[in-house]
């Protein structure tokens, strides 16, 4: 009877983790759909709109850094519930705070700060909570888990677009409240689900000093930075490729570019999540890294724009396993890494997500807004990723 109860509870924890990544997709991708509306309705200039993205990113980085010190003190359950509460309150605040302040931008900025705290905590917490679950094949479970961010991203764009088409973007506040229900409900689900420990009973997790002294840790940090950079350097520019190459509207460009990228990335993670017990993780990651380099070359040198766009989709598939695969490799190679390890990896991944598109954009601008040249410069990240995969087989400590 006890075994059955544990099985049911364990599934509940997994489902809560899956929804947790959908929540992160909502907080990261819903508000950008409203940027034009914010400009028109509240007369907020583009310079301030850009600041919303920066603040969201900085707050998540700060939470990544701080979480190593406080999550273990308050416990995973309390921390994951705080994450969902912040996400829900932030989304609800979007509908209230702009009307409270004389400058609506201040209200929007405060709402972004609130849900950014939730987004940062989710990035640090969900993966180790899943890793600690007694799953028979942790690599499969981790890959399946991360696919839910992709499906969440697609769902946010598709469902929001459908809502705006049916009811008008002027009713965006209703949709914000609907999206806020997801973290609110999942908070209750996490409250009723057991949270397992990453350490066995009686074991002590590694201190930050011990963690930083391990060579394999720095190899995994390299993989995380390069995984984030390889993904976002293409993802952030996929819509522009679609618009310029296919001569379509921004709406169609978003569907043909970022949506295709997210779908292929989710497909890769779903594939490994289903068949991972039959596939060697190192081999799949190494092959994906090589495919990523090929996709960058296709984007940069393909004679037809539509082939460059196809390269973007292939890139989505190639980077799919890299982020969750690195988590799984690190958890297996660094025993007792605990919260500090996952927090540092979240920080490394976020730094990569910033470095990739920044380098591509800077080089593109330097060469007369030539995106192909910018993407070609960013090929350094998937190349370094291949180096990291080789080192991960050689460096043990």
| Residue of 268, 255, 30, 60 whose CA lies nearest to 146 | 268
pLDDT at 203: 58
pLDDT at 5: 39
pLDDT at 227: 93
pLDDT range class, residue 397, cuts 50, 70, 90: low
pLDDT at 118: 95
Q: Of the segments 141-155, 176-190, 219-233, which one has the largest average pLDDT value?
A: 176-190
8 Å CB contact between 124 and 67 = yes
Average pLDDT over residues 189-213: 78
pLDDT range class, residue 4, cuts 50, 70, 90: very low
Ranges 13-27, 40-54, 377-391: which has the least confidence:
40-54
Buried b (16+ CB within 10 A) or exposed e, 303-342: eeeeebbbbbbbbbbbbbbbbbbbbbbbbebbebbbbbbb
The yes-or-no verdict on residue 144 having pLDDT over 60 is: yes
The yes-or-no verdict on residue 274 having pLDDT over 80 is: yes
Span 304-336, pLDDT tens digits: 878 888 888 899 999 999 998 998 888 888 887
8 Å CB contact between 25 and 152 = yes
How far is it, in rounded angstroms, from Cα 390 to Cα 43? 52
Ranges 130-139, 185-194, 282-291: which has the least confidence:
130-139
pLDDT range class, residue 200, cuts 50, 70, 90: low
User: What percent of the chain is modeled with pLDDT above 70?
Assistant: 91
Which of the two residues, 33 and 226, has the higher pLDDT score? 226
pLDDT at 248: 66
Average pLDDT over residues 242-259: 69
How far is it, in rounded angstroms, from Cα 300 to Cα 306? 12
In angstroms, what CA-CA distances link 223 with 138, 280, 349, 350, 370?
Answer: 19, 17, 9, 12, 28
Buried b (16+ CB within 10 A) or exposed e, 232-256: bbbbbbbbebbbebeeeeeeebbbb
pLDDT range class, residue 136, cuts 50, 70, 90: confident
Span 38-91, pLDDT tens digits: 888 888 886 788 778 778 878 888 888 888 778 888 889 999 999 999 999 999
Long-range contacts of 54-60 (CB under 8 A, 24+ apart): 55/109, 55/112, 55/113, 55/116, 56/28, 56/31, 56/112, 56/116, 56/119, 57/350, 57/354, 59/112, 59/113, 59/116, 59/117, 59/119, 59/120, 60/116, 60/119, 60/120, 60/123, 60/350
Span 324-369, pLDDT tens digits: 899 888 888 888 777 788 888 988 988 888 888 888 888 887 888 7
The mean pLDDT value of the chain amounts to: 86
pLDDT at 333: 86
The yes-or-no verdict on residue 201 having pLDDT over 80 is: no
Ranges 5-19, 55-69, 373-387: which has the least confidence:
5-19
Buried b (16+ CB within 10 A) or exposed e, 164-174: beeeebeebee
Lookup result for tokens 């460009």: 253
pLDDT range class, residue 2, cuts 50, 70, 90: very low
The yes-or-no verdict on residue 254 having pLDDT over 50 is: yes
pLDDT range class, residue 1, cuts 50, 70, 90: very low
The yes-or-no verdict on residue 174 having pLDDT over 50 is: yes
């Amino acid at each position: 009877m006890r075994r059955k109860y544990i099985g049911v509870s364990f599934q509940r924890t997994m489902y809560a983790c899956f929804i947790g990544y959908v929540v992160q997709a909502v907080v990261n991708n819903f508000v950008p759909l409203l940027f034009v509306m914010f400009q028109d309705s509240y007369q907020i200039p583009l310079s301030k709109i850009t600041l919303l993205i920066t603040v969201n990113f900085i707050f998540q980085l700060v939470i990544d850094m701080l979480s190593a010190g406080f999550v273990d003190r308050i416990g995973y359950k309390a921390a994951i519930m705080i994450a969902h509460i912040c996400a829900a309150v932030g989304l609800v605040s979007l509908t209230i705070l702009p009307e409270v302040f004389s400058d609506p931008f201040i209200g929007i900025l405060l709402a972004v700060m609130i849900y950014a705290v939730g987004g940062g905590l989710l990035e640090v917490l969900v993966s180790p909570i899943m890793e600690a679950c007694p799953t028979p094949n942790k690599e499969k479970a981790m890959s399946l888990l991360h696919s839910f961010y992709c499906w969440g991203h697609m769902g946010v764009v598709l469902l929001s677009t459908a809502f705006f088409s049916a009811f008008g973007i002027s009713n965006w506040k209703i949709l914000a409240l609907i999206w806020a229900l997801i973290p609110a409900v999942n908070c209750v689900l996490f409250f009723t689900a057991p949270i397992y420990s990453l350490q066995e009973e009686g074991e002590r997790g590694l201190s930050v000093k011990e963690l930083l002294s391990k060579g394999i840790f720095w190899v995994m940090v390299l993989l995380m930075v390069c995984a984030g950079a390889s993904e976002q350097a293409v993802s952030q520019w996929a819509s522009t490729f679609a618009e310029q190459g296919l001569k379509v509207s921004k709406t169609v460009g978003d569907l043909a570019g970022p949506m295709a990228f997210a779908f292929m990335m989710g497909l890769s993670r779903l594939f490994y999540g289903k068949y991972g017990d039959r596939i060697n993780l190192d081999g799949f990651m190494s092959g994906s890294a090589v495919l990523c380099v090929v996709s960058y070359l296709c984007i940069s040198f393909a004679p037809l724009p539509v082939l460059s766009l196809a390269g973007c989709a292939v890139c989505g598939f190639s980077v799919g396993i890299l982020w969750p695969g690195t988590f799984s490799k690190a958890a297996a190679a660094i025993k007792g890494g605990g919260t500090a390890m996952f927090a540092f990896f979240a920080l490394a991944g976020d730094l990569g997500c910033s470095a990739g598109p920044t380098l591509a954009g800077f080089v593109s601008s330097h060469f007369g807004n030539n995106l192909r040249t910018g993407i070609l410069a960013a090929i350094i990240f998937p190349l370094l990723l291949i180096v990291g995969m080789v080192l991960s087989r050689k460096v043990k400590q």
